[in-house]
Amino acid sequence: MEPRSVGIVTAQVARFEEPFVFRSGRSIPSFELVYETYGRLNAQRSNAVLVCHALNASHHVAGVYADDTAALGWWDNMVGPGKPLDTDRFFVIGVNNLGGCFGSTGPKHPNPATGRPYGADFPVVTVEDWVNAQARLADHLGIARFAAVMGGSLGAMQAMQWAIAYPQRVAHALVIASTPRLSAQNIAFNEVARQAIITDPDFHGGHFYAHGVVPARGLRVARMIGHITYLSDDVMAEKFGRDLRDGLKYGYGTEFQIESYLRYQGEKFSEYFDANTYLLITKALDYFDPAAACGGDLAAALRPAAQVRFLVVSFTTDWRFSPARSREIVDALTANRAEVSYAEIDAPHGHDEFLLEDPRYHALARAYYDAIAETCRP
Amino acid sequence: MEPRSVGIVTAQVARFEEPFVFRSGRSIPSFELVYETYGRLNAQRSNAVLVCHALNASHHVAGVYADDTAALGWWDNMVGPGKPLDTDRFFVIGVNNLGGCFGSTGPKHPNPATGRPYGADFPVVTVEDWVNAQARLADHLGIARFAAVMGGSLGAMQAMQWAIAYPQRVAHALVIASTPRLSAQNIAFNEVARQAIITDPDFHGGHFYAHGVVPARGLRVARMIGHITYLSDDVMAEKFGRDLRDGLKYGYGTEFQIESYLRYQGEKFSEYFDANTYLLITKALDYFDPAAACGGDLAAALRPAAQVRFLVVSFTTDWRFSPARSREIVDALTANRAEVSYAEIDAPHGHDEFLLEDPRYHALARAYYDAIAETCRP
C-alpha cells in the first residue's frame, strides 16, 4: 500500500499541576505540554513511539490542520500510514518541549509570580528537564514503556537521555545525526547566535513582549548562522554555487543566490519563532553532556542504558555532528555490551539530511521499525 | 645570526592626484595610501617584496612604533632581519588597501562631493582595484618589478591578481592559505557578518560617523563568526574544549571558555575596526573569481601569469580555504606549464596557521626567499 499522510490532526494539551523542578534548581508551579498523537495505542499499550523535536520544530510531527492544510508536520515523510514509522502499527506522539514557543509552557506565558510573561526569566532548560517533563506526559497518557523514543540532532539527545534516565521505560532508542556532547566549535556557533539576539536593542533583556516588538534582527542573524551549519559545503555549492540573482551590483543588496536564500530563511524564522525559546534551546544543546557526570567517561554514563536497544545513524557530509561523534556513542554502548545497530549513510545534504527522504536512510528506519513491530505485537 | 625585529618603524603616506576608477565603474578624484617599508631597496631596485594584507590587517607588517612599542606588526614573525622574509636582503613594503581603515583613503574619509565621510558611499572595492592601486604605489616608489608579491588568505588573492594583471612586474607570487574563489559557504558566512552590521540600528545606513556612534553590536557578531572560521575544530577543542569559566550558571552570562574568548575577540575588534571597511573587504572576498571572466576556466584565467613563479602553501586543518582549493590553483598553473612549488603543511591551527610561526612553514618560506635572493643579487 502506498504511504499516505496521517491527514488532519488536532493538537492536545496536557496540564500538570505538580511543580516542575529544573536541573538548575529553579521550579515552576505548574505547566502545560502541547502534543499530538497519530495512530492508535494498542490494548497492551506496547506500541507507543515518542518523537522528540530538535531546535525549531514542535509537536506537529505529521499531518496537517483542518484550518491550515499547508502546515505539514516537520517529519511527515517519516511518520504516517505505510511510512517508515507506520501509524497503522504504532501510536506516535509528538510533543512541544517545555520552554518552547508552540503552545507548551514557555517564555511567552505568564509568570505566576508577576502576571507578566516569563521572558528571559523562564528557567534555563536542559535535555534532562525535557525528558523528565515528557515522562510526565507518558504517565498522563498511561504509557509505562515506549516501544521507541526517536529523534534527530537535539531530538536524538533526548532519545539518549530517555535511555539513560528511564531505561525501563524505553525498548528502543533511535539516535540520528547526533553527538554525545557539543564541541567548542558547536558551542561557538550557538554563542554567536545568542549574542546576535541578546544585543538586538529590541530584545529588551528578554522582556520584549511588553514593548510590542520582537528582536527580529537578532533572530534573522541567528537563523542564518544556524542554516550554514545544517547544510554541507557540497550541497550549498551544488544548490547555489556562486550564482548571481541579477548580475553584479557592487552594493549590499542581494547579489548571490546564497545570500537571497539565507535572508529568506532568516526572515521567515524571525516571523514565527520566539527569541527566548531560541536562547533556551541553544543552551540545552550546549549543556548536554551525559559523560560529564562520570568524569568524561561516556561508557560509564551510558551504562544504565545498556538494556535499551539502539539504532544510531549518521550522515557522511554532516559537519555539525559528524559520523565520528556518532561512532563515539556506538563505541560507548558497545563497551557496555548494549545491542546497537549503526549506519553511516553516504548522503550529500549535511546535518539536514535527517529530515529528508533519503531512500537508504528511510529503508533502514522502516526495517528497524518492522523489527520493533514484531516484538510489540499482542 | 638570531632573527630580530625590524624595530621602530614609521608609516608613510603616498598621495595620488589622478582619479582612480574602480571595477564597478565608479571613481574617486584622488586618494592616499598609507604604507611602511623595511630594509633597503638595492641599487638595481630588484629586491622589493610587496606584502598584501588580509581582512583585518594593515600596512603595519613588522616592527613597532616609537610611541606604541606594543603595537607589533601583524606578520612580524615572518618579516625582519634574519627572518624568513629577511629585511637584510629584501626591501619589504606593507600597504593599507584602498577602502581600509588604517589611514588609506576609505569610508571614514571625506567624500569631496559632500564634504562628509564617504561612509557606505565609498565605492565597493575588488581585489583587482586593490592591486591596481598598489601598482600606482609601486610606480611612486620607483619599483618596476617586484622580486615577490606575498600574502595569506585574501592577501594571497592579491598576489594571484598581481601575477594575472601585471605578470611582467612580479617575479614570484607566494600564495598562502588561499582559494581561486569563495564557495557558497564562504559567501554565506560573509553575508551573515554583513547582515549583523547592516541591521545594527547604530549603522545608520553606513553614515554612523555623523551620529557619533559605531555599530559595535554588529561588528562584534561579525568578528565572532569570522573567528570560528579561522580556527580548526580540533584546535578549538584543544584550547577551549567544554571548559567552563566558573561552573554552570544556567544563564546567558559567560559560561564556557570559548564564549569568553569569542566575546573578547568581538569586543576588541569592534573598538578599532571600521564597519564600512569590514563590509567592503567581505565584498572584495566574495567577488574575487578570476576564472569567471574565462567562463570558469581557471587555467585560462591564469595563462597570463604563467611567466611568474609560484609558491602555493595550504594547511591541512584549514576548513575555510581547504588544501583542495590550493590544489585547484596549482593544477591550473601546471596546465599552463608555469613554475610552481606546492606544499600542504600538516598543521593544527586551521586558516589562522598562515599567521603563526609554524617551523615547517617558516623553513619553507625561508628556503624559497633564499632562492629568490640568489636571483635578484646584483
Residues of A with Cβ-Cβ distance to B241 under 8 angstroms: 184
State pTM to two decimals.
0.97
Output the DSSP codes for A257-290.
Answer: HHHHHHHHHHHHHHHH--HHHHHHHHHHHHH--G
> How many other CB atoms are found less than 10 A from the CB of residue A342?
18
| Mean of per-residue pLDDT scores for chain B | 97
With contact defined as beta carbons under 8 Å apart, do B67 and B8 qualify? no
Q: CA angle at residue A187 from B196 to B345, to 5 degrees?
A: 90
Q: Is it the case that residue B378 has pLDDT exceeding 70? A: no
pLDDT digits (tens, 9 = 90+) for A30-46: 999 999 999 999 999 99
Mean pLDDT in residue range B176-182: 98
Q: Active-site residue A351, yes or no? A: yes
- Test A192 with B24 for CB contact under 8 angstroms: no
What is the rounded distance in angstroms from the CA atom of residue A248 to the CA atom of residue B85?
Answer: 38
Specify the length of chain B in residues: 378
Tell me what pLDDT residue B138 has: 98
A-chain CB neighbours of B352 within 8 Å are none
Q: Which residue has the cell 510533543?
A: A95
- Cα torsion for A286, A287, A290, A291, to the nearest 10°? 70
Cα(B19)–Cα(B283) distance, integer angstroms:
22
Write down the pLDDT at residue B376. 75
A199 interaction partners in chain B (CB closer than 8 Å): 217, 220-221
The alpha carbon of residue A123 is apart from the nearest alpha carbon of chain B, in Å, by 8
Nearest-by-CA chain B residue for A182: B242
- Determine which one of B314, B351, B352, B358 is catalytic: B351
- In the prediction, which pLDDT does A376 show? 75
Out of B318, B326, B352, B358, pick the active-site residue: B318
Distance CA A128, CA B250 (A): 13
- What's the pLDDT band for B273 if we cut at 50, 70, 90? very high
Q: Do A250 and B182 touch (CB under 8 A)?
A: no
Strand-strand pairing, A27-28 and A20-21 = antiparallel
Max CA distance (Å), chain A: 68
- pLDDT tens digits, B28-59: 999 999 999 999 999 999 999 999 999 989 99
pLDDT attached to residue B163: 98
Let me know: does A304 contact A332? Beta carbons within 8 Å.
no
Pick the more confident residue, A307 or B56.
A307
A270 chain-B contacts, CB cut-off 8 A: none
Measured distance CA(B19)–CA(B205) in Å, rounded:
26
The partner residue sitting opposite B188, judged by closest CB among A23, A236, A252, is: A236
Residues of A in contact with B289 (CB under 8 A): 242
Which member of A86, A351, A352, A358 is catalytic?
A: A351
Q: What is the pLDDT of residues B3-20, one digit of tens each?
A: 999 999 999 999 999 999
From residue A364, alpha-carbon distances to A102, A154, B45 in Å are 31, 20, 69
Dihedral of the alpha carbons of A169, A175, A181, A183, in degrees to the nearest 10: -170
Q: Which residue shows C-alpha cell 532568516? A: A266
How many angstroms separate the CA atoms of B180 and A168, rounded? 56
From the list B182, B224, B256, which residue is nearest A286 (CB)?
A: B256
Reported as a pLDDT band with limits 50, 70 and 90, residue B375 is confident
pLDDT at B145: 98
Q: Is the pLDDT of residue B283 over 70?
A: yes
From B46, B58, B153, B270, the catalytic residue: B153
pLDDT attached to residue A119: 96
A163 touches A357 (CB < 8 A): no
Cell 534551546 belongs to residue = A281
- B120 CB neighbours in chain A (<8 A) are 252
Contact B242 A120 (CB under 8 A): no
List the one residue out of B127, B139, B349 whose CA is nearest residue B233: B349
pLDDT of residue A177: 98
List, for residues A133-166, the tens digit of each pLDDT value.
Answer: 999 999 999 999 999 999 999 999 999 999 999 9
Q: Kindly identify which residue of chain B lies nearest to residue A257, measuring between CA atoms.
A: B184
CA distance A182 to chain B (A): 8
Interface test with B, best of A22, A179, A195 (most B CBs within 10 A): A195
Residues A207-237 pLDDT 10s: 999 999 999 999 999 999 999 999 999 999 9
Model pLDDT, residue A377:
67
Tell whether ipTM is more than 0.90. yes
Give residue-wise pLDDT tens across range A4-38.
Answer: 999 999 999 999 999 999 999 999 999 999 999 99
pLDDT in the model for residue B231: 96
| Chain B residues lying within 8 Å of A196, measured CB to CB | 196, 221
User: Tens of pLDDT along B101-118?
Assistant: 999 999 999 999 999 999
Per residue in A332-364, pLDDT (tens digit) is 999 999 999 999 999 999 999 999 999 999 999
- A237-276 core/surface letters (b: 16 or more CB in 10 A; e: else): eeebebeeeeeeebebebbbbbbbbbbebbeebbeebbbb
Cα torsion angle, B23, B24, B25, B30, sign: negative
How are strands ordered across the β-sheet holding B309-315?
B12-16, B31-38, B91-95, B48-52, B146-152, B170-176, B309-315, B340-345
Question: A100-127: per-residue pLDDT in tens?
Answer: 999 999 999 999 999 999 999 999 999 9
Contact at 8 Å (CB) between B11 and B103? yes
Q: Which residues contact B123 (CB under 8 A, 6 or more apart)?
A: A250, B22, B24, B26, B27, B28, B99
CB contact under 8 A, B242 and A287: no
Contact B225 A187 (CB under 8 A): no
Percent of chain A with pLDDT over 70: 99
Select which of A58, A153, A178, A326 is catalytic: A153
With CA atoms as reference, report the closest residue to A221 among B277, B278, B259, B221.
Answer: B221
Q: Residues, chain A, total?
A: 378
End-to-end CA gap in chain B: 23
Establish whether B227 is a catalytic residue: no
- What number is the average pLDDT over the span B163-180? 98
H-helix or E-strand containing A86? Answer: strand A85-86
pLDDT tens sequence across B211-258: 999 999 999 999 999 999 999 999 999 999 999 999 899 999 999 999
First to last CA, chain A: 23
- CB–CB contact B195 A220 (8 Å): yes
* Residue located via cell numbers 545491542: A339
What pLDDT, on a 0 to 100 scale, did the predictor assign at position A375? Answer: 83
Comparing CB atoms, the residue among B181, B201, B283 nearest residue A242 is: B181
Give the closest-approach CA distance of B223 to chain A in angstroms.
Answer: 9
For the question of residue B346 being annotated catalytic, the response is no
Cell numbers for A19: 511543580
